[in-house]
Amino acid sequence: MDVREPCEYDAEHLEFSLSRPLDFINDWTNEFDKHQPYYIHCAGGYRSMISSSILKSRGYENIVNVNGGFAALKDAGFETTDFVCQSKKMK
């Protein structure tokens, strides 16, 4: 799960990730099975740490906070979408 802002996700994300922004965690928390494993990432790790903590406090059992976030996943060679500069989307 990618907990970055929608504009960050739209600009570039992992091919297989779901966009579930931290700002809207109360809206999407109940969409997922509490017993399945989930890997949570943001840009660098802060928002995913918060999201992971909230989910664990709500009974989610298999939450993994991805250290280093999207940047670390990208550096590790995970497949991403093509980068789209947000300023170019506005034109």
Residue 11, domain CATH? 3.40.250.10
Range of the domain at 73: 6-22+31-89
C-beta of residue 24 within 8 angstroms of C-beta of residue 4: no
Number of domains, the chain: 1
Instruction: Please report which residue ranges of 4-45 form alpha helices under DSSP H.
Output: 6-11, 25-28
- Domain membership flag for residue 72: yes
- Domain membership flag for residue 53: yes
Q: Is the pLDDT of residue 90 over 60?
A: no
- Domain membership flag for residue 51: yes
With cut-offs at 50, 70 and 90, classify the pLDDT of residue 84.
confident
- Domain membership flag for residue 77: yes
The burial of 66, by beta-carbon neighbours within 10 Å (0-12 exposed, 13-18 middle, 19 or more buried), is given as: buried
- Domain membership flag for residue 1: no
Answering whether pTM is above 0.85, one says: yes
pLDDT at 75: 94
- pLDDT single digits (tens) 4-54: 999 999 999 999 999 999 999 999 999 999 999 999 999 999 999 999 999
